[in-house]
Every structure is written in C-alpha cells, then in structure tokens.
Structure 1
Amino acid sequence: MTAWFTSDQHFGHARLLELSPARGAAFLTINEMNARLIHNWNAVVEPDDTVWVLGDVDMHGKDATLALIDQLPGTKILIAGNHDSCWAGVRDGWKNRDLYLAAGFAAVMDFAVTTLPPLHPQAPATQVLLSHFPYAGDRHDEDRHAQFRLRDEGIPLLHGHVHESFRERRTKKGTWGINVGVDWWDYAPVSAETLARHFDDLKHDRAS
C-alpha cells in the first residue's frame, strides 16, 4: 500500500484554462484536462492505496464533476479547499460534506497530520501537517483566507492552493512547505516516499 498526495484538480473548471497559462498551454479543453487528470491518477494509484486530496478537487460540488471521483481508485481523503462547497469558509459548508462522501471520499477534513516514511531503517518518519493553504503565499498579491491557515510551529507542511506559483517555500521560521498540486507533479498524485526524499533534499540543501 502506498500513500499519495495531490490537490487542485479543479475538475470541470473551464475558466482555469484562461486564468492559468500552464493549464491553458497543456490542455485545449476542460474535457481533455479532466481526462488527463483521471488517466494520470489511474496510472499510479492502486485500489488499496490511500490518496490525500488537499483541496479544490472541483468547483463548488457540482454533480457532473463529483461524479468523476468514482473513476479514481484508492481510499480518498479530502482536506477541503476554498473552491470545495464543503469548505469551512463557505456558509453552511458543513452541510455539503455528505455530497463529497457520497461521491467517494472516505472522509472530509479541514486539516490533518500524518507521517512520511523513513528513507532508511534507522531514520525517523517525518511528521507533516496537511492543509489546503500554505503557511504563507498565494497566487495573488495578498495572502487570502488567513484565518484558515495553520500556524507555523516548525512542522513541515504539505499543501495546495498556489497552483504553479511555487513548488516549495521556507517560512521566516525556517519551516519547509511543499505544494502537492497537480501543476507541479505532472498532473498526477505524488507518493509519500517521493515527498520524504524531497524534504530530505531541501534540508540538506539548506545545510550546504
């Protein structure tokens, strides 16, 4: 069994092809984008794997796009993002969590904590926080939704939200965060082992 992390599929979000130069260059139509995201997910995720989706899986819980979730294997856990209709920042968003559970998510959360696997038998596992939002940073000039961002207490963070703006960033306190959004990972989920190695590389690059 493998754990995977991903975010910001934005299934069905046609305007994203206009707003994002990278998506617009990669896909001619929203149907092409949807099909590629599903194909790439299915190419790496096995039925007994776990996939953490760190938000913005679609746009506002539309029936047509939530129906696509059933085509994605694995035990899927959603950390709600600001474009998911079940997000805590949406008025009565909690009432929509059943929509995402019915679509195929095993659980819907606002944030979570988990561990990445050790890189060798003697090494400790890496504890990470999971949130849709980075500690700091946005696609816009100002950091939106500040009240929904986790406080930086030195724990590495996996997040989405920023699309192609940056793949990793260190806070003023020196804490690393990695953007697991599909825009940086070939439009596919990224494995826990890959992220563990990436955090290790970042730590050693800082020390060198």
Structure 2
Amino acid sequence: MTTWFTSDLHFGHARLLELSPVRGAAFTTVAEMNEGLIANWNSVVAAEDTVWVLGDFDMHGKAASLALLPRLKGTKILVSGNHDACWAGVRDGWKHRSRYLEAGFAAVMDFAVTKLPPLGPEASATRVLLSHFPYAGDSHDEDRHAQFRLRDEGVPLLHGHVHEAFRERRTSEGTWGINVGVDHWGFCPVSAETLARHLAELSRADG
C-alpha cells in the first residue's frame, strides 16, 4: 500500500484554463481536464492506497464534480481548502461536510499530522504537517486567509493553494514546505516516498 498526496485538482473549474498558463497548456476544455486528472490519478494509485487531497478538490462542492470522486481509486481523505464548500472559512461550511463524506471521502478535516516513510533501515520517519495553505506565499500578490495558516514551529509542511507559483519554499525560520498541487507534479498525485526523498534532498542542499 502506498500513501499519496495531491491538491488543487479544481474539477469542473473551466475558468482555471484561462487563469493558469500551465493548466491551459495541458487541457483544452474542462471536460478534457476532468478526464485527464482522473486518468492520471488512476494510472498511479491502486485501490488499496490512501490519497490525501490537500484542498480545492473542485469549486464549492458542485454535485457534478463530487460525482467524479468514486471514479478515483484509493481511500481519499480531504484536508479542505478555500474553494471547498466544507472549508471552515466558509459560512456554515461545516454543514457541507456530510456531502463530501457521502460522495466518497473517508474523512474531512482542516489540517492533519502524518509521517513520511524512512529512507533506509537506520533512518527514521519524518513528521510533516498537512494543510491546504503554506506557511507563507500565495498564488496572488498577497497572502490570503492568514488566520487559517499553521504556525511555523519547524515542522515541514505539505500544502497546496499556490498552484504553479512555487513547488517548494523555505520559510524565514528555515522550515521547508512542499506544494503537492497537481500543477507541479505532472497532474498526478505524488507518493510519500518521493516527497521523503525530495525533502531529504532539500535539507542536504541547505548544507
């Protein structure tokens, strides 16, 4: 069994093809984008795997987009983002969590803590935080939703939200964050093993 991470699929978001040069270059229509994201997901994820979706599964929990969820392999866990109808920053967002659970998410939460696998027999697992939002940075000119961002206390962070703005960034405190959004990972989920290696490489590069 493999654990995967992804974010910012934005199923059904037609305008994103205009707003995002990366997305627009990859897909011509929203239907093509939806089908491409599903095919890419299922090409790497097995039925027994777990996939953490770090927010923005679609745009505001539309029925047509949530109906795509059962076509995606694996056990899916949602860490809600600002475009999900169940996000804590949306008025009465909690009332929509049942819709996401009924659609096929095994759990819905605002943030989580997990571990990336050890890279060798003598190595230890790496503790990471999971949130839709990075410690700092945005796809816009200013950081939005500051009150929903986790405090940087030195724990590496896996996140989404910033689309193609950056794939990884170190905070002023020296903590690495990695953007698992599909725009930086071939429109596919990225495995925990890949992220563990990448985080180790970033740490080594720090000297």
Counterpart of 1:37 in structure 2 is 37
Secondary structure, in 3 states, of the residue corresponding to 1:166? coil
The superposition leaves residues 169-197 of structure 1 with CA deviations (integer Å, 9 ceiling, x where unpaired) of 00000000000000000000000000000
2:186 aligned partner: 186
Counterpart of 2:77 in 1: which secondary structure?
A: strand
Q: Is the counterpart of residue 73 in structure 1 residue 73 in structure 2?
A: yes
> Structure 2 matches for 1:132-171, cutoff 5 A?
132-171=132-171
- Counterpart CA distance in 2 for 1:77 and 1:140 is 27
The CA distance in 2 between the partners of 1:28 and 1:40, in whole Å, is: 16
Deviations 1:80-125 (A, max 9, x none): 0000000000000000000100110000000000000000011010
Runs of 4+ in 1 over 6 A off after TM superposition: none
The residue aligned with 2:124 is 124
Task: Kindly tell me the number of residue pairs found equivalent between the two proteins.
Answer: 207
In the TM superposition, 1:47-126 aligns within 5 A as 47-126=47-126
Which letter does structure 2 place at the counterpart of 1:168?
Answer: E
- C-alpha deviation, 1:126, in angstroms: 0.3
Instruction: Describe the SS at the equivalent of 1:78.
Output: strand
Q: TM-score, length-normalised on structure 1? A: 0.99
Question: Aligned equivalents of 1:150 and 1:121: distance in 2?
Answer: 31
Could you tell me the TM-score, scaled by structure 2's length?
1.00
Query: Any unmatched runs of 5+ in structure 2?
Result: none
RMSD over aligned CA atoms reads 0.4
SS at match of 1:4: strand
Q: Once the two structures are aligned, what percentage of the paired residues are identical?
A: 76
Q: CA deviation at 1:141?
A: 1.1
Secondary structure of 2:67 counterpart: helix
Q: Distance in 1 between matches of 2:138 and 2:48?
A: 34
Q: Which amino acid is 1:138 matched to?
A: D
Secondary structure of the corresponding residue to residue 113 of structure 1: strand
